[in-house]
Amino acid sequence: MTETTDLYIDGEWVSAESGDTFAVENPADTTETVAEYAKGSTEDAERAIAAAADAQADWEAMPAPDRGSILRETAKLLEEQKDELTEQLSHEEGKTLSEASPEVQRAIDIFYYYAEKAADNAGNRKGASGGRTSVYTKREALGVAGLVTPWNYPIAIPAWKIAPALATGNTVVIKPASNAPGPAASIVEALEEAGLPDGVINFVPGSGSDVGGTLTSHEDVDAVSFTGSSEVGHHVYDAATDNMARAQAEMGGKNPAIITDSADVDEAVDIVGAGAFGVTGQACTACSRAIVHTDVYDEFVEGIVEYAESIDIGDGRDDLGMGPHVSQGELESTLEYVDVAANEGATHETGGERLEGDEYDDGYYVSPAVFSDVERDMRIFQEEVFGPVLAVTEVDDFDDAIEAANDSQFGLSSSVVTTDLNEAHEFIERTEAGVAKVNEKTTGLELHVPFGGVKDSSTNTYREQGDAGLDFFTEIKTVYLNT
Ligand code: NAP
Ligand code: MG
């Protein structure tokens, strides 16, 4: 029998008030239930918010280096369980062990990073005017942070929201995605074991509209940090700002890679292939548009088709090249886009088929797909698929390429493959994206620099990660000191 992971409220693991639970299935074999979770509701979320509000002043009053020590201990505990966490992540979400392991390591590193940053969180001192001794700023916690996270990076994203929130003296209620809540529960267990005081972190899985809706619209929540789809993100941001909570929503992408005529085509194929098909294309920063100069177009298409066809697909825990989609819904959405692209007149080069037979029958497997001759007004060029589907578009020159890349409602990550320094500079200046990469895949981020997008990819308020994480979770007090 599968054990049920409870809610964590005010330092206790408790059932949902309703007694309801939900199961998480193995996306590689849906006949298997991986785990069961208590299913929180609005009432549970409200209790968690009350606990977080009660715990906040004492937590913020704890010396920052002591808060940092708890985060450092949490990192150590997660590090000790790295293999189990990798397995858990792959089992619930479906990505391969080789993809899950660096994600777990990222979560560990994030806790180490913000453990140091806790003591570092300070303000600026300015020269005093008149008879004052000093004028300076200090940073203070916002209060209670409501965190809502997606399933696709189920340990890294909770980590990059929880760690800076706690480091700066906020208390937290987190609602993880229903498809893969386990890794976030593991973080909470490590925080508990590391000695985090009761009420400082609260964990309430449950439905997006009930628990997520409560967290993002409750008057006692002071900061709302959301990552997920643009549709939900808009709604969350409106609800949170209606309450005057500080809010950020990190949302979808349709990330382009420009391949110029100066590019090494083999290198371009590797960069685009890794960005498009890594983590089964289920990344907000996945490359889903290759915009290719006409002189290298045919060679690129041939190369990327070969790349897609060479990927071995299977259970993430068998660690082949690519795992399944996370859910039936995500699988169907990808298959639907494959139909849409074909019907719109794009050339279907390869893939996009549901895999069948033997071990494939009970999992959400699709072969990686490439469409060429994609035009800018096609839905496959404009809409986020969130699966391993690449649209390839031919352009006549570099200006055309930049224009096509920017022809999108989204602006998260973007890349150029070029050996021409002027093209690299032009791209950096003109790309409409929060992340600009030269000769690198669109996916893959560093933890100590800000991350976020423009246009419909992010709210234009705060970035996440690095110092930006500390900025989001704090407000500035300006002190006029006259002794
Ligand atoms: P999603 O469907 O928007 O869900 C995200 C989270 O919001 C989940 O925890 C979900 O709960 C919750 N939720 C659903 N409805 C809600 C509501 N009415 N109020 C409050 N919360 C609600 O996104 P997803 O399918 O998990 O993730 C895929 C999306 O995330 C893609 O669009 C991807 O681009 C984006 N993403 C963006 C970034 C970034 O940093 N920009 C990073 C990763 C992913 P349930 O799970 O219970 O439905
Ligand atoms: Mg979704």
88 and 226 part of one domain:
yes
Residue numbers annotated as active site: 284
The neighbouring-strand residues paired with 37 are 5, 22
| Pair type for strands 474-481 and 134-141 | antiparallel
404 and 259 part of one domain:
yes
- Establish if 444 belongs to a structural domain: no
266 and 317 part of one domain:
yes
Which-ligand-closest: CA of 464?
A: 1
CATH code at position 184: 3.40.605.10
Distance (Å, whole) CA 229 – CA 119: 34
224: left (phi over 0), alpha (psi -120 to 50) or beta: beta
Query: Quick one: DSSP state of residue 154?
Result: T
- Establish if 23 belongs to a structural domain: yes
CA 179 to chain centre: 14
C-alpha 231 to ligand 2 mean position (Å): 9
197 and 300 part of one domain:
no
23 and 113 part of one domain:
yes
Ligand 1 atom closest to the Cα of residue 150 is: 26
390: left (phi over 0), alpha (psi -120 to 50) or beta: beta
Helix axes 64-80, 182-193, angle to 10 degrees: 120
- Phi first, then psi: give them for residue 384, nearest 5 degrees: -70, 125
| Residue 56 and residue 144 in contact, taking contact as beta carbons nearer than 8 Å | yes
Per-residue pLDDT of the chain (483 residues; tens, 9 = 90+): 578 999 999 999 999 999 999 999 999 999 999 999 999 999 999 999 999 999 999 999 999 999 999 999 999 999 999 999 999 999 999 999 999 999 999 999 999 999 999 998 888 998 888 777 889 999 999 999 999 999 999 999 999 999 999 999 999 999 999 999 999 999 999 999 999 999 999 999 999 999 999 999 999 999 999 999 999 999 999 999 999 999 999 999 999 999 999 999 999 999 999 999 999 999 999 999 999 999 999 999 999 999 999 999 999 999 999 999 999 999 999 999 999 999 999 999 999 999 999 999 999 999 999 999 999 999 999 999 999 999 999 999 999 999 999 999 999 999 999 999 999 999 999 999 999 999 999 999 999 999 999 999 999 989 999 999 999 999 999 999 988
- b/e 424-444 (16+ beta carbons within 10 angstroms → b): bebbeeebbbbbbbeebbbbe
420 and 318 part of one domain:
yes
| Residue 158 and residue 184 in contact, taking contact as beta carbons nearer than 8 Å | yes
183 and 285 part of one domain:
no
- Establish if 369 belongs to a structural domain: yes
Structure tokens given for 186: 């593991």
Q: What's the pLDDT at 231?
A: 95
- Establish if 452 belongs to a structural domain: no
pLDDT in tens, 69-92: 999 999 999 999 999 999 999 999
Q: Which residues line ligand 1 (CB under 6 A)?
A: 148-153, 175, 177-179, 207-209, 212-213, 216, 227-229, 232, 235-236, 250-253, 284, 384, 386, 412, 457
Structure tokens given for 65: 């280096």
233 and 306 part of one domain:
no
Q: How many domains does the chain have?
A: 2
CATH code at position 424: 3.40.309.10
Distance (Å, whole) CA 238 – CA 213: 11
Structure tokens given for 318: 């068998």
Looking at this protein, which amino acid is placed at residue 286? A
401 and 467 part of one domain:
no
157 and 21 part of one domain:
yes
Q: What's the pLDDT at 1?
A: 56
- Establish if 135 belongs to a structural domain: yes
- b/e 159-183 (16+ beta carbons within 10 angstroms → b): bbbbbbbbbbbbbbbbbbbbbbbbb
C-alpha 467 to ligand 2 mean position (Å): 29
Q: Alpha-carbon Rg of the chain, whole angstroms? A: 23
Other CB atoms within 10 Å distance of the CB of residue 305 = 19
Q: What is the domain extent for residue 278?
A: 255-438
- Establish if 349 belongs to a structural domain: yes
Other CB atoms within 10 Å distance of the CB of residue 229 = 16
80 and 140 part of one domain:
yes
Ligand 1 pocket test, candidate residues 103, 149, 284, 389, most atoms within 8 A of CB: 284
Distance (Å, whole) CA 245 – CA 239: 9
The neighbouring-strand residues paired with 464 are 451
Which residues, including other chains, have CB under 8 Å from residue 102's CB and lie 6 or more apart?
Answer: none
Structure tokens given for 392: 């390839």
Other CB atoms within 10 Å distance of the CB of residue 39 = 23
| Residue 161 and residue 149 in contact, taking contact as beta carbons nearer than 8 Å | yes
Distance (Å, whole) CA 165 – CA 471: 10
Structure tokens given for 308: 């897609």
- Establish if 443 belongs to a structural domain: no
CA 204 to chain centre: 19
- Phi first, then psi: give them for residue 180, nearest 5 degrees: -155, 70
Distance (Å, whole) CA 108 – CA 113: 9
- Phi first, then psi: give them for residue 249, nearest 5 degrees: -130, 120
The neighbouring-strand residues paired with 292 are 259, 394
Q: Can you tell me whether residue 390 is helix, strand or coil?
A: strand
Query: Quick one: DSSP state of residue 279?
Result: G
The neighbouring-strand residues paired with 395 are 293
Closest CA to 93 of 174, 181, 225: 181
Looking at this protein, which amino acid is placed at residue 192? E
Ligand 1 atom closest to the Cα of residue 453 is: 41
- Establish if 189 belongs to a structural domain: yes
Query: Quick one: DSSP state of residue 354?
Result: B
335 and 475 part of one domain:
no
